[in-house]
Amino acid sequence: MPQEFISANRESIVSRASQRADGRVWPSRAISEFEHGAPLFLQHLEQTLRLHLPDTASGADAISETAMRHGAELFAAGFTLSQVVHDYGDICQAITALAEACRPAVTVQEFQLLNRCLDTAIVAAVTEHARITALQRTAHKTEHLGRAAHELRDLLNTSLLAFRL
């Protein structure tokens, strides 16, 4: 069962994912990248797999919620969208490499379930990161337009005063 494999090897998976991130040429790895988000994600992944929830809306929601929080945390920490995608890819590759080395008994259906969870997580994290990025850009544009309008109003008032004089 994938959940038992993940539970028994959580630290090794995080370590392997961290090593993969260290070996990246680009995007570079931030120091705190795997210390909080990856273990929390693996814990939620394990719980979801244990309950066989990915096939249900509540299972997909649980994985998505965790991944969205992780995507928001990575955004707040200054991570790029590329780093978010690579983080989940590193976790997926670490699970696959460790499974290949250990050869656990996993059925095709269980492996498909694991992949569906990972795909859902990647989509949710990327979507949340992109949503926050878009909101921030909109806020910056609004602020910029407000400053421009203020400057134009000042110039127009100065022009009108000069004209009246």
- List pLDDT tens digits, range 31-68: 565 666 677 778 778 877 777 655 555 566 777 888 88
Below-50 pLDDT ranges, the chain: none
Task: Write down the pLDDT at residue 143.
Answer: 93
Q: Which amino acid is at 100?
A: E
All structural domains of the chain: 2-135 (1.10.490)
Residue 103 Ramachandran class (φ > 0 left, ψ -120 to 50 alpha, else beta): left
The predicted model scores a pTM of 0.71
Task: Write down the pLDDT at residue 35.
Answer: 67
